[in-house]
């Protein structure tokens, strides 16, 4: 079912309101109509009953005036007179199964056919489309011992029934028209009432990715949906933010890919510009291979981050001995560190539930950063500490002081700090973003701070995943 002028599916709010309102109005009006009908019926019945009672009283008085059945004959006219001026009343007197006075009209047959009517009670009879109330008044003369008489009083109540019927029809029509009118009114009210919703829908309709930041007008929204509009606006803000970072990310990817691709092209073009020695070709290929490796690392890191973002990475929950992992990596980086006169010290113990490969990847990134960005001839310290609030692994190295907010900004993708130490390295700027992502996947977090000329990156794990306590 669809109502004209209402847009949308059958279950629109407007339609629901209209249907409920109309149903309610119809029910209410039907109730009132029925009540009025019932009241009128009772009143009419009361009136007819009063008529019957009054006439019965008159009949009893007449009978009491007559000494015996034998003297009934001359008095019959008085029974007939009861109905004078009342065309809807007729009387009859029966004595020993014979009519002494016959009731008028077809009601007589009906009385004859009804075997025996209850005494002094009103019996409804339907005769040729008319409704009658018939009352039998038996009378015995105590002194005479002769059989008594039955006086019949019949009242045609068709008029009352007609009035009631007409009233019923009028009431039904009134209910119908009233329901229709209230339906129309409800439709009008619903349309007026829901107009702000349509306005909001229209505003939302005009939203495009460029206009995501523009909030939906909350001032003119009705109180009931202000909360909804507020939530929508906050959702739009979050969407706009995600959109911005997505745009930034795409721009960064394009920008980061351009440099190695340019390098590859230029080196290849220069090499091909004239015939060269085999060694020169080999050297160019080697340099190209390095660029390609860098590109490959970038793509695989980006893939990892994208998968982590979309929740596509499943964590292995295994026991990871962080001390053993740190020791292994310290060995692995020893050569690079020694070349720069650095040394790596690992202290403390700690075992943790988590994904071994991912945690190794996080630790590799932190250590490679430390070796890469710490000045020559310094010590890189790795501290593992089991705390009640969860296991902590810190990688610290001397370095130029960096402001706290700048440090946290380094966790963003492609973020690099323009310091003397990082200027000449071939970093992409995805390492810390990956560590941050891995820590979040483990329910922990990556923190960074600079104290006393040292840069410290800490992996903080949640307490629940910690296994045992420090072995000391
Ligand atoms: N241990 C550290 N000491 C000093 N600066 C650091 C350290 N670790 C990271 N940084 C700074 O943070 C920046 C971001 O580091 P991140 O590991 O994210 O990227 P990257 O090392 O430049 O590149 P990638 O790790 O992707 O090869 C670095 O460029 C560097 O400026
Ligand atoms: Mg790095």
- Could you tell me which residues come within 8 angstroms of residue 55 by beta carbon, excluding any fewer than 6 positions away? 82, 89, 91, 153, 155
Q: Is 26 helix (H, G, I), strand (E, B) or coil?
A: helix
* Closest C-alpha residue for ligand 1 atom 25: 431
Please work out whether the CB of residue 416 comes within 6 Å of at least one atom of ligand 1: yes
176 occurs within a structural domain: no
Shared domain for 297 and 325, answered yes or no, is: no
Judged by its nearest atom, the ligand closest to the C-alpha of residue 446 is 1
Q: How far is CA 129 from the centre of its chain?
A: 60
**Residue 422 maps to a domain:** yes
117-125 contacts at long range (C-beta below 8 A, 24 or more positions apart): 117/152, 120/56, 122/49, 122/52, 125/154
CATH of the domain at 462: 3.30.565.10
Three-state secondary-structure class, residue 4? coil
Phi-psi region of 386 (alpha: psi -120 to 50; beta: other; left: phi over 0): beta
The answer on 339 and 454 residing in a single domain is yes
CA distance 71 to 127: 33
Both 296 and 326 in a single domain? no
In a domain, 10, yes or no: no
- The domain that holds 254 is classified in CATH as 1.10.287
**Could you tell me if the CB of 428 is within 6 A of ligand 1?**
yes
Alpha-carbon gap, residue 358 to 443, rounded angstroms: 13
Nearest residue (CA) to ligand 1, atom 13: 416
Distance 304 CA to ligand 1 centre (A): 18
Task: Tell how far the Cα of 313 is from the centroid of ligand 2, in angstroms.
Answer: 21
Strand order of the β-sheet with 454-460 is 343-347, 379-387, 390-398, 454-460, 445-451
Query: 419 in ligand 1 pocket by Cβ < 6 Å?
Result: yes
| CB 260 near ligand 1, within 6 Å | no
Please tell me if the CB atom of residue 369 comes closer than 6 angstroms to any atom of ligand 1: yes
| Cα dihedral across residues 171, 174, 176, 179: positive or negative | negative
Q: How far is the CA of 429 from the centre of ligand 1 (A)?
A: 6
Domain boundary among 133, 148, 165: 165
437 lines ligand 1 (CB under 6 A): no
Number of independent structural domains in the chain: 3
Please indicate, yes or no, whether residues 332 and 463 belong to a single structural domain of this protein: yes
Answer with the one of 121, 139, 165 that is the final residue of a domain.
165
Label residue 412 exposed, middle or buried (CB < 10 Å: 0-12, 13-18, 19+): middle
Tell me the β-bridge partners of 236.
Answer: none
- Ligand 1 contact via 398 beta carbon (within 6 Å): no
| pLDDT at position 470 | 43
Are 322 and 438 part of one and the same domain?
Answer: yes
* Cα 349 to ligand 1 centre (Å): 26
Q: Is residue 182 part of a domain?
A: no
Q: Mean pLDDT by 10-residue block, N- to C-terminus, for the chain (472 residues)?
A: 47 85 93 94 93 90 83 84 86 87 87 82 88 90 78 90 92 93 92 84 82 78 84 89 84 86 93 95 94 91 88 90 97 95 96 94 96 95 94 95 90 82 74 95 94 95 77 37
Q: Identify the nearest ligand to the CA of 408 by its number.
A: 1
Residue (of 416, 405, 402) closest to 450 by Cα position: 402
Q: Return the structure tokens found at 75.
A: 């008095």
Residues 399, 357 share a domain: yes
Residues 40 and 167 sit within 8 Å (Cβ to Cβ):
yes
- pLDDT of 436 reads 95
Q: Any idea what the CATH number is for the domain that residue 87 is in?
A: 3.30.450
Asked whether residue 328 falls in the same domain as residue 456, the answer is: yes
Q: Is ligand 1 within 6 A of the CB of residue 394?
A: no
Looking at the structure, do residues 138 and 32 belong to the same domain, yes or no? yes
Identify the pLDDT of residue 5.
Answer: 45
Q: Look at residue 445 in the predicted model and tell me its pLDDT.
A: 95
Query: Cβ(410) to ligand 1 under 6 A?
Result: yes
Q: Is 375 in the pocket of ligand 1 (CB under 6 A)?
A: no
From 429, 449, 450, the mutation candidate for ligand 1 (largest count of ligand atoms within 8 A of CB) is 429
Shortest-distance Cα residue to atom 8 of ligand 1: 369
Single residue among 309, 331, 356 that ends a domain in this structure: 309
Q: Which atom of ligand 1 is nearest to the CA of 434?
A: 18
Q: How far is the CA of 167 from the centre of ligand 2 (A)?
A: 92
Same domain, 86 and 129: yes
Q: Are residues 292 and 366 in the same domain?
A: no
For the Cβ of 407 lying below 6 angstroms from any atom of ligand 1, the answer is no
Q: How far apart are CA 395 and CA 458, in angstroms?
A: 6
What is the DSSP-derived secondary structure letter of residue 310?
Answer: T
Q: Is 264 exposed, middle or buried, given 0-12, 13-18 or 19+ CB atoms closer than 10 A?
A: middle
Nearest Cα residue to atom 4 of ligand 1:
373
Q: Judge if the beta carbon of residue 370 lies within 6 A of ligand 1.
A: yes
Give the environment of ion ligand 2: residues with CB less than 5 A. 369, 431
Task: Say how far residue 233 (Cα) sits from the centre of its chain.
Answer: 18
Residue 272 lies in a domain: yes
Residue 122 lies in a domain: yes
**How many C-beta atoms surround the C-beta of residue 325 within 10 A?**
21
Q: Are residues 349 and 305 in the same domain?
A: no
- Rounded distance between C-alpha atoms, residue 220 and residue 230, angstroms: 12
- Tell me the residue range of the domain where 323 lies: 318-467
Sheet of 98-101, strand order: 98-101, 89-95, 149-156, 130-139, 122-127
Q: Which ligand is nearest to the CA of 433?
A: 1
pLDDT of residue 469: 55
Q: Are residues 325 and 458 in the same domain?
A: yes
Angle at Cα 335 formed by Cα 402 and Cα 330, nearest 5°? 65
Reading the block at residue 97, the tokens are 């199964």
User: Ligand 1 in contact with 373 (CB < 6 A)?
Assistant: yes
Residue whose CA lies nearest to ligand 1 atom number 17:
431
Q: Is residue 195 part of a domain?
A: no
Helix (H) or strand (E) holding 380: strand 379-387
258 occurs within a structural domain: yes
Burial class (CB in 10 A: 0-12, 13-18, 19+), 70: exposed
DSSP assignment of 44-100: HHHHHHHHHHHHHHHHHHHHHH--SGGG-GGGHHHHHHTTTT-TTEEEEEEETTEEE
Give residue 395 CA to ligand 1 midpoint distance, Å. Answer: 13
- Neighbouring CB atoms inside 10 A of 398's CB total 18
Report whether 240 contacts 213 (CB < 8 A).
Answer: yes
pTM: 0.60
Long-range own/partner contacts, residues 141-150 (CB < 8 A, 24 or more apart): 141/67, 141/68, 141/69, 143/68, 144/68, 144/69, 146/68, 146/69, 146/70, 147/69, 147/95, 147/96, 148/69, 149/63, 149/69, 149/72, 149/93, 149/94, 149/95, 149/100, 150/93, 150/94, 150/95
- CA–centroid distance, 156 to ligand 1, in Å, is 109
Distances in Å between the Cα of 63 and the Cα atoms of 66, 69, 274 are 5, 9, 150
Instruction: Kindly report the protein residue whose alpha carbon is nearest to atom 30 of ligand 1.
Output: 417
């Amino acid at each position: 079912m669809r109502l004209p002028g209402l847009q949308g599916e059958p279950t629109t709010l407007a339609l629901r309101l209209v249907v409920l309102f109309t149903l309610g109005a119809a029910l209410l009006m039907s109730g009132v109509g029925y009540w009025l009908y019932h009241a009128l019926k009772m009143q009419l019945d009361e009136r007819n009953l009063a008529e019957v009672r009054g006439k019965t009283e008159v009949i009893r008085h007449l009978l009491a005036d007559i000494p015996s059945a034998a003297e009934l004959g001359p008095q019959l006219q008085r029974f007939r007179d009861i109905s004078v001026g009342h065309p809807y009343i007729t009387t009859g007197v029966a004595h020993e199964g014979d009519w002494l006075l016959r009731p008028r009209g077809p009601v007589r047959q009906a009385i004859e056919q009804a075997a025996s009517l209850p005494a002094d009670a009103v019996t409804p009879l339907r005769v040729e489309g008319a409704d009658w109330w018939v009352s039998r008044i038996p009378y015995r003369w105590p002194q005479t011992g002769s059989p008594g008489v039955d006086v019949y009083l019949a009242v045609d109540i068709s008029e009352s029934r007609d009035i009631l019927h007409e009233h019923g029809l009028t009431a039904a029509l009134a209910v119908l028209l009233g329901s229709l009118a209230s339906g129309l009114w409800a439709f009008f009210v619903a349309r007026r009432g829901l107009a702000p919703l349509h306005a909001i829908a229209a505003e939302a309709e005009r939203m495009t990715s460029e206009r995501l930041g523009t909030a939906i007008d909350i001032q003119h929204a009705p109180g009931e949906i202000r909360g909804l509009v507020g939530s929508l606006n906050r959702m739009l803000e979050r969407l706009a933010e995600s959109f911005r970072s997505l745009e930034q990310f795409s721009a960064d990817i394009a920008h980061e890919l351009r440099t190695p691709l340019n390098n590859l092209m230029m080196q290849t073009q220069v090499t091909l510009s004239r015939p060269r020695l085999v060694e020169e070709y080999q050297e160019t290929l080697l340099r190209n291979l390095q660029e390609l490796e860098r590109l490959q690392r970038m793509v695989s890191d980006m893939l990892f981050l994208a998968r982590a973002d979309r929740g596509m990475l499943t964590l292995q929950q295994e026991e990871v001995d962080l001390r053993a992992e740190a020791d292994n990596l310290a060995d692995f980086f020893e050569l690079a560190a020694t070349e720069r006169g650095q040394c790596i010290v690992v202290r403390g113990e700690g075992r943790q539930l988590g994904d071994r490969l991912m945690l190794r990847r996080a630790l590799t990134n932190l250590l490679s950063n430390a070796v890469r960005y710490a000045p020559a001839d310094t010590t890189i310290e790795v501290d593992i500490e089991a705390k009640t609030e969860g296991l902590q692994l810190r990688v610290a190295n001397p370095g130029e002081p960096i402001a706290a907010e700048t440090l946290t900004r380094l966790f963003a993708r492609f973020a690099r700090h323009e310091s003397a130490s990082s200027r000449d390295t071939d970093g992409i700027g995805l390492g810390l973003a990956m560590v941050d992502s891995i820590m979040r996947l483990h329910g922990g977090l990556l923190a960074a701070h600079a104290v006393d000329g040292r840069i410290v990156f800490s992996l903080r794990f949640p307490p629940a995943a910690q296994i045992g306590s420090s072995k000391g």
